[in-house]
Amino acid sequence: MPGHGASPQREMRRRNLSRVLHAVAEQGPCSRAAVAARLGLTRTAVSTLVEELLRGGLLTEQGTTPPGGAGGGPGRPGTALVLTDAGPCGLGAEIGVDHLAVCAVDPRGQVRARARLESDGRDSDPGVILTRLRTLVDEVAHQARALELRPVRLAVAVPGLVARGTTTVVRAPNLGWYDTDIAGALAGAGTGDRPSAGAEAHRTAGGKDYRTVGARKGLTAGALSADALPLLVDNEANLGALAELWLDSGRVPRDFVHVSAEVGIGAAVVLSGDLLRGTRGFAGELGHVPVRPDGPRCVCGGRGCLEQYAGEIALLRAAGLRADGPRDAAFTALAERAATGDTRTRDALEEAGTALGIALAGTVNLLDPRAVVLGGALARFATWLLPALERELRERTAAPGVPPTLVISGLGAEGPLLGAAHAAVRVVLDDPLSHLA
Amino acid sequence: MPGHGASPQREMRRRNLSRVLHAVAEQGPCSRAAVAARLGLTRTAVSTLVEELLRGGLLTEQGTTPPGGAGGGPGRPGTALVLTDAGPCGLGAEIGVDHLAVCAVDPRGQVRARARLESDGRDSDPGVILTRLRTLVDEVAHQARALELRPVRLAVAVPGLVARGTTTVVRAPNLGWYDTDIAGALAGAGTGDRPSAGAEAHRTAGGKDYRTVGARKGLTAGALSADALPLLVDNEANLGALAELWLDSGRVPRDFVHVSAEVGIGAAVVLSGDLLRGTRGFAGELGHVPVRPDGPRCVCGGRGCLEQYAGEIALLRAAGLRADGPRDAAFTALAERAATGDTRTRDALEEAGTALGIALAGTVNLLDPRAVVLGGALARFATWLLPALERELRERTAAPGVPPTLVISGLGAEGPLLGAAHAAVRVVLDDPLSHLA
């Protein structure tokens, strides 16, 4: 961890090692010379740093760079630096309303292991859900270790408010969780050699893509917490936004509003590449922006919130579909009816797009972002949502200059899980000294 | 200016001199020991910096600090350091819809000279208005020089959108100005020894508090621009927010939303003490957040924007008062009727408060600020606006934890002018090396 009793020299070395790793991460395979040019450091200084990272197993060399290619010096072929795909890895987990998912990402950013479990989280007992999640985490950690990867951190995406700087879910209405600290139930998850199986996981149709491992882990709670992975808990919209920023920087700029439409509607505000968290950690509650102030009563206590028009339940009901059954089936039905031109479905999607446009118009007028990114489950309905959404935005945000770009997320519903895993592995890039072999 | 060909040593010296000045500005009269303690520097280092600032005329010494008082060492009386009230000063100007105002602020933060002119800016010719403003600026600069103050910068607050990093008013609907660069008309303003009188200023009732000076300045345009004051142009809500931050830090935290209700309704978002400007410089357009999406058509092209309910014209009309006459008279009438319990007036204010509450609820849900500051002309109607405003905020932002504080600005309509002058003089604190005598 940065700064624990660090001397200025060690701090400088840590910072420069981190800069080298980030430069390689951003450029892809590249020469020492390209790194030096990017960072404005001498080639000698970069060579020393690179040697340390090679020895420590965070960088490796591959093949040769083509003459003049990949940012190398003119005409001189050499080996290319790449981040390791062994050694440390990050574990990301997602607590969804109808599923749990976990994956492991290596420093190169590749997903190397994953598991998913259909699991009804509505009005659920946190203890039951978190025990299931722990099993999945242990399973993915075991898979990762079999690939010579070593988990260094676990990040969990939750569909609710997380108090800033804590692991406490303050409010997740769609799970029915209030003031739930998830650290205890996950203490020690992912640290053992073999997965625990503290709970009998309910494995349904969606659970086919992972291996079933059932050996019980024999460690005591004390031993578990002694080697506990550092745990990060964050709102799913925040982690989804970071995934867009980190994984789709070609389309997504560093100032944007990310809408994450799932059962609830969340958003995240990214300013100069940093998340706006808000005083309590609750920024981004787009779902509770008033759209029609005298509209239907919302669970939040307000009236006519965006969620009452564009939230999943409101949308399915307006389209005449059941909102309390399996989500996948309902969304598939919704997509099929929309594709065949069903009027009621199209009207429901247009009303949702209108409400999104009204709420986003207010957001754009307040924040003047460079882009609005539409992510989450609703991204797949963009074709039918966008005409109304764009009309409202256009009519209600008529400021001069280039208006914000509207980007449809390429990650969709995967965003929060990938964001969590990347947030976990980026600690290696940010603080390499703690993770050298 | 920072960094122009500066050596690292010079840059470090500049930064430390600036830190000393800011420490004295924040603490008030204080000892060298108190400055050293605050900055974590040695007393020797602080003494060297202080001597340079005393010689350069940016600090002075006064009286003695009481034993143990004003942050001095225990029991040892000494002289107290204060910022100078001579030498450099900042000029602030405000282009209002019905007036122009200018003031000079010394490094201590005191207003030392001011002038005001009633001037109808609605659908006005920018050339005419800016020539009037230039006369006022020259007049205040002349007053300041008579007090041994030397203007170093001019900052202008405008009721409209300013393109980021420019002096161009992109859109000020209430003035009828579009794409108006105000730098040309103000080039050289405030730099001469005596005020110019290029325009015959219309002096009406409100114009009694300044001296009439009419001597024409004999310099050519070329000579003027050669010694032009650096010019800063910003939206009035932004400068009003900075005034709250700088002048009322006891009540206003470093993360807040500032509502500036004048003819139009603007807002500014301050995060960790910095203004959020937005990609184009247009952040804070609270007046065009949709409140009732099917409501009356707005000048912006939208419908049911906040300004249609809580803007000055809407409010006066709803109260049955003329909105096209003198503003002061209309507001006085509004206040009198509200005080006597006139139902129509009270209803109009309640409707405005409701609309403000709905728009601010969306803002709070998005940004989770620590406080909302109500400033501008509407601050004086807080008694009648607040019940509805607070009701809407309470019902629509029911997140856990401490909700944002609602602060009524103590600066009111003075905020933007004071913010401009302080923004102008703070360049001295930020970059003392350029302003040593």
Find the range with the poorest average confidence among A326-330, B32-36, B362-366, B371-375: A326-330
Percent of chain A with pLDDT over 70: 87
Asked if the model's pLDDT at residue A75 lies above 90, the reply is no
Question: Which is higher by pLDDT, A188 or A56?
Answer: A56
Question: Which is higher by pLDDT, B122 or A200?
Answer: B122
The CA R_g of chain A, rounded to the nearest whole Å, is 23
Average pLDDT over chain A reads: 87
The ipTM of this complex is 0.87
- Residue A227: pLDDT band with limits 50, 70, 90: low
Find the range with the poorest average confidence among A33-37, A68-72, A82-86, B251-255: A68-72
A-chain residues near B259 (CB < 8 A): none
C-alpha to C-alpha distance for B172 and B388, rounded to whole angstroms: 29
Asked if the model's pLDDT at residue B216 lies above 90, the reply is no
Asked if the model's pLDDT at residue A412 lies above 70, the reply is yes
Q: Are A163 and B401 inside 8 Å of each other by CB?
A: yes
pLDDT tens sequence across A416-431: 999 999 999 999 999 9
Find the range with the poorest average confidence among A115-119, A208-212, B316-320: A208-212
Q: How far is B315 from chain A (nearest CA, A)?
A: 19
Asked if the model's pLDDT at residue B275 lies above 50, the reply is yes
The one-letter amino acid code at A324 reads D
**DSSP element (H, E) containing A47:** helix A43-55
Q: Are strands B78-83 and A371-376 parallel, antiparallel or unpaired?
A: unpaired
Asked if the model's pLDDT at residue B84 lies above 70, the reply is yes
Asked if the model's pLDDT at residue A245 lies above 80, the reply is yes
**Nearest-by-Cβ selection for A171 from B171, B291, B400:** B400
Q: Are A361 and B269 inside 8 Å of each other by CB?
A: no
- Residue B127: pLDDT band with limits 50, 70, 90: very high
Q: How far is B306 from chain A (nearest CA, A)?
A: 10
Assign 3-state DSSP to chain B and report helix, strand, coil percentages, each to 5.
Answer: 40, 20, 35
Over residues B358-375, mean pLDDT: 96
pLDDT tens sequence across A164-220: 999 999 999 889 999 999 998 898 888 876 555 543 343 333 333 333 222 233 323
Question: Which is higher by pLDDT, A96 or A264?
Answer: A96
Residue positions counted in chain B: 437
Percent of chain B with pLDDT over 90: 73
- Tokens 């659970």 sit on residue: A207
What domains are defined for chain B? 8-83 (1.10.10.10), 88-237+416-435 (3.30.420.40), 249-410 (3.30.420.40)
- Residue B21: pLDDT band with limits 50, 70, 90: very high
Question: Which is higher by pLDDT, A262 or B396?
Answer: B396
Contact predicate A167/A189, CB 8 Å:
no
Between A and B, how many CB-CB pairs are < 8 A?
154
Asked if the model's pLDDT at residue B208 lies above 50, the reply is no
Instruction: Give the chain A residue nearest B286 (alpha carbons).
Output: A366
C-alpha to C-alpha distance for B267 and B189, rounded to whole angstroms: 29
Instruction: Give the chain B residue nearest A275 (alpha carbons).
Output: B367
Output the pLDDT for position A263.
80
Asked if the model's pLDDT at residue B196 lies above 90, the reply is no
- Residue B277: pLDDT band with limits 50, 70, 90: very high
Find the range with the poorest average confidence among B3-7, B39-43, B132-136: B3-7
Q: Are B369 and A279 inside 8 Å of each other by CB?
A: yes
In 3D space, the residue among A102, A158, A99 whose CA is nearest the CA of residue A327 turns out to be A99
Question: Which is higher by pLDDT, B425 or A2?
Answer: B425
B-chain residues near A402 (CB < 8 A): 280
Output the pLDDT for position B200.
39
Asked if the model's pLDDT at residue A100 lies above 90, the reply is yes
Over residues A79-92, mean pLDDT: 94
Q: Are A369 and B280 inside 8 Å of each other by CB?
A: no
Output the pLDDT for position B144.
97
In 3D space, the residue among A24, A19, A59 whose CA is nearest the CA of residue A39 turns out to be A19
3-state secondary structure of A161: strand
